[in-house]
Each structure stands twice: as C-alpha cells, then as structure tokens.
Structure 1
Amino acid sequence: MQISSNDLGLAARVAGLTKTYGTGDGAVMALDDVSVGIRRGEFTAVIGASGSGKSTLMHMMAGLDTPTAGRAWLGEYELTALGDRALTKARRRGAGFVFQSFNLVPVLDVRANILLPFELDGRRPTADDEAWIERLIDSLGLAARVGHRPHELSGGQQQRVAIARALATRPDVVFADEPTGNLDTRTGREVLALLAEASSSHGQSIAMVTHDPVATSHADRIVMLSDGRIVHDGGPLSPTEVADLMLSVEVVR
C-alpha cells in the first residue's frame, strides 16, 4: 500500500532523501539520507549554518527541486512520482511561499497579488475563499491598502501581502525562507508573530528556514541540520538556547 503524508498526519514529508550536486571529486552532498515530516498545524523552524542543507530540504519538500534519491510527499501528492505538469499542480495547490525578497508582482495591487495563486491555477475563488481572503486582509492590517501597488508599501506591508498570498489558498504547508531577512527588527517580529498566529489560530502548517535564533524561538518545533543531516529535532527554545545549540554543533564539527 502506498504511504502518503495524510496517513501519517503530516502536511509534508521526506524519506531517505539525498541530494548531490556535481559529479566525481567535485560532488557535494547537500542532504544525506534525511527523513522528516512537517506536522499539521505546527510552526517548524529549520535551522543550520550556511551550507547545512536547510534550504535544499525546503526546496525538496516544496517540490522546487528533485532529489538524487529518496521520496517526498506534499499533502496527498507523492512529489517524486509526478511528472512536471502534475508536480506544478501539486505545488500550486499544496504549498504557499514566503520569501525574504517578497516576490510581489509590481504591476499588481495588493488584492491582485493575493489572488495570484488562484489565477495561476486557472480557478476562481469560491465564496468561502473570498470570505477567508477578506479575513486575512483585515487581520493583517491591509484593508486600507488593497488598491496600492508594492512600491507604495513599506517592507513590512509587502511582507504581510506575501503572507496573505501564501495563506489565501489554504495550502497544506507554507514554506517561509528567511522571511524577516530584509526587515527591520520590529517589523520582523511582527511578521513572525503573524506566522505563529496562522499556525496556532488557523491550524496552518509553517516550515520556516532561518539562521536567526530570535526568529527560531517563535517556532513550536526546531529541526537543525549540519552537513546535510538532522542533528536536532525538538520543542521550542529561547533565543539564547538556540544560539547555544547552534554553537555546540559548530564546535563539534
């Protein structure tokens, strides 16, 4: 019987995942036999030093890259068993994305940017979807800005639009890659609080890649990678405890 992430109560999952870049003496192993899942309704931080494999893991879980070996599921879809067209469909419907560069379309206003995932998927929002989107707009403080274009917004407002866009289709999991990297400290903390609220209040699964101990401390679960392998998987920690954990791993290396 085929095992899916739904069977395991997970929003996303990888098993025996290995990723190698290059060949021969120049080959670099970014992931080394990694098996891990993102639990439903949980805010997970994936941390590690530069080159540890954390971004590669996120890309594999989101279907943005293909593994050298192993399997990956996103929601009900086994990504590693899909062709390009089916993979694109699974990614659009099962994943939302928040990047540090915001990735908003400059010629579209706030509402059009939020609705973009529906447009790309070739479907119109249902009445229920519309109600959810209005709720997001209100809760993220964007109601007075829906007709504005990205260049008319602050960095924090642009990131809020990106969060609303990621949550609009209610995907299985939202992947956030250094979502506070281009924000000032206060705005960054607001964005992290919004992601945490999306998880705790709306049952949204969040997987955030970060190297920031303070950002990590907002998560329910912390997964740490080093040299392409998971070296820690545990509950929430304070910023100081996160920093100590990262330092201890670096010292061992």
Structure 2
Amino acid sequence: MDNITTETVTSASPITPPEEPLVARVVDATKSYGTGAGRVNALDGVSLGIPAGRFTAIMGPSGSGKSTLMHVMAGLDTVTGGQVFLGDTDITRLGDAELTVLRRRRVGFVFQSFNLVPTLDVAANIRLPFELDGRRPTRTQGEWIDHLIDSLGLRARLTHRPHELSGGQQQRVAIVRALATRPDLIFADEPTGNLDSRTGREVLTLLAEASRTYGQSIAMVTHDPIAASYADRIVFLADGRVAAERGRSAAEEISSYMLGMEQHA
C-alpha cells in the first residue's frame, strides 16, 4: 500500500463521488464558540458526506473538530452556519422535539463510556430504544435482535446488569442496542477508549462486520490509528477543516500521517 502523503481537500471539493448515496452530510458547516478575540472556530467550512453501507473513521489531533463534527451530524449540536442533512432530511433548523424523534428512529450511538442504564439488565438495555419510542420490536426486528445477541455471545448474560459484565461485554451490549433498530447511521465516539487492546480489537471487528456483512453505515471518531485501520475510509481533520481523505490504510501509515499533521500544526 502506498505511503500516506498530505493531500489538501478544500470545502468545495467532493468528499465522495457524487453518485455514491450518502446517509449524512454537512455542507460548508461552521461551528463557532465565543465572541470577539476569544472566538474559536471548531468547524470552518466543512463539507463532508458519510457513504451508505461503509465504515468511515474521522481522525485528527486534539482540537481538530472531529467530535464537534460528529455532534452536529448526529443532531446533538447545531451549526453556526451551513447545512446538515440526515439522508435527504435537512436537520439544520429542526427543533429539539423533532431532533429527538429523528435520532431515536434513524441514528444509533456507541460511546467510549458504554452509557448503559445501570438499573436495567442486558435485555432491557437492548430494548431501550424501542421503549423510549413507545413501541415494541416487530417480529422481524425481534429475530434480528436475537441474531445479534447470539452472534455476540450475550445469550447467557441477558438477565445480568451492567456492573456484572466485563468492559468488553458492556460494549457488546451497547453495539447490539445501537444495531437493534437498524438505524440509518451509527456514530461511534472512541468506542475502544476504555477497553484493553484485545477486547478493543474484538469490538472493532464487530463494527467492521456490521458494515461489510449487513451494510450498516458507521461513522467513528477516533484518535487511534489501529482503530482507524479497521475502517473502509478515513477522513482527517485539522483546525476545523478537512485535510485529507484516504481509503483503508495500515495503522503504521495512518500513524505516520497523523504525526506529520501534528508536526505541521
């Protein structure tokens, strides 16, 4: 595989081929905090699309805007300027109630801290997105959830509460919960940050398998080159802008590129 070299991508450049369907995108997105001399541009005119059915990693040095980008694309935060789309839905100016429903039905989340409800057992945590939406899984959805539970080895743990599980088991529960509703897009924010390296590899393999076998669209924010090497596509951010985009790359190449970004920061 060729070595990674710096490649500048302006906000006007297409991040993905125009014919490739996108599950989410931002157009000239800006996000600013503060005013006057203290104003900080976390995002500075970012245009980026997340392709359907692919595993995209979003990387960058601390303060590059990667977490802010995920938050605005997921409807957890608003942009100062530009537009945000989930599929064909312009969510830029949606109200809190509309965004809550949209996230519940179309977006899944996997966080570094697992975010399981400690008073609920595994089965109830997995069903939580349906409970919050006031509905029960359909027969097809129930079969899908059963398949995920068996595939991830959680069948014997369904009556256990989070504190009775290992970190890896808790993250597997979080992944099943995120996949249960078959959302348009899953956002994963440093999903291996609290796991040992072996368990982290298992979780990344699960996410990659969800994308390649089941066509799940995933956007993962990470600073870890090893984690990013599991993705089909890597987007690098620097100073709130898209700096480069690469296809699947080895961890060593990603690390080398990141080091170059930090040296030029």
TM-score interval for Structure 1 and Structure 2 normalised by the shorter chain? over 0.9
What per-residue deviation string (whole Å, max 9, x for no partner) do you get for residues 118-170 of structure 1? 11111111111101100110111101111111011000000000000000110
What per-residue deviation string (whole Å, max 9, x for no partner) do you get for residues 161-187 of structure 1? 000000011001100000000000100
Matched, 1:237 2:229: no
Q: 2:210 aligns with which of 185, 198, 205?
A: 198
3-state SS of paired residue (1:80) = coil
Q: Which amino acid aligns with 1:160?
A: R
3-state SS of paired residue (1:81) = coil
Q: 1:225 aligns with which of 237, 242, 250?
A: 237
Q: Equivalent pairs: percent with the same residue?
A: 67
Matched, 1:110 2:122: yes
Matched, 1:45 2:53: no
Q: Distance between the aligned counterparts of 2:91 and 2:104, measured in 1? A: 12
Structure 1 alignment gaps of length 5 or more: 1-6
**Matched residue, 1:88:** 100
What per-residue deviation string (whole Å, max 9, x for no partner) do you get for residues 10-47 of structure 1? 11111110000111111110000001011111000000
**Matched residue, 1:20:** 32
Moved more, 71-80 or 103-112: 71-80
Q: Which amino acid aligns with 1:32?
A: D
**Matched residue, 1:120:** 132
Q: Which amino acid aligns with 1:185?
A: S
Q: 1:180 aligns with which of 167, 173, 192?
A: 192
Shift of 1:75: 2.8
Matched, 1:98 2:110: yes
Q: Distance between the aligned counterparts of 2:217 and 2:153, measured in 1? A: 22
Q: Distance between the aligned counterparts of 1:77 and 1:183, measured in 2? A: 35
Q: Distance between the aligned counterparts of 1:8 and 1:123, measured in 2? A: 33
Q: Distance between the aligned counterparts of 2:110 and 2:53, measured in 1? A: 17
What per-residue deviation string (whole Å, max 9, x for no partner) do you get for residues 52-95 of structure 1? 00000000110000000011111342111322211111111111
Q: Which amino acid aligns with 1:154?
A: S
Q: Distance between the aligned counterparts of 1:92 and 1:22, measured in 2? A: 30
Q: Distance between the aligned counterparts of 1:87 and 1:209, measured in 2? A: 21
CA contact (8 A) 1:74 1:90 kept: no
Q: Distance between the aligned counterparts of 2:173 and 2:106, measured in 1? A: 19
Moved more, 122-131 or 53-62: 122-131
Q: Which amino acid aligns with 1:17?
A: A
What per-residue deviation string (whole Å, max 9, x for no partner) do you get for residues 200-250 of structure 1? 001000100000010110000000000000001120110110001101112
Please identify runs of 4+ aligned residues in structure 1 that moved more than 2 A. none
Q: Distance between the aligned counterparts of 2:143 and 2:235, measured in 1? A: 34
Structure 2 alignment gaps of length 5 or more: 1-18
Q: TM-score, normalised by structure 2?
A: 0.91
Q: Distance between the aligned counterparts of 1:35 and 1:116, measured in 2? A: 33
CA contact (8 A) 1:193 1:218 kept: yes
Q: Which amino acid aligns with 1:202?
A: Y
Aligned length: 247
Q: Which amino acid aligns with 1:132?
A: W
Q: Distance between the aligned counterparts of 2:50 and 2:194, measured in 1? A: 25
Q: Which amino acid aligns with 2:260?
A: S
Q: Distance between the aligned counterparts of 1:199 and 1:14, measured in 2? A: 21
Q: Distance between the aligned counterparts of 2:178 and 2:78, measured in 1? A: 22
3-state SS of paired residue (1:240) = helix
Shift of 1:8: 6.0
RMSD over equivalenced CA pairs, Å: 1.0
Q: Distance between the aligned counterparts of 1:193 and 1:85, measured in 2? A: 35
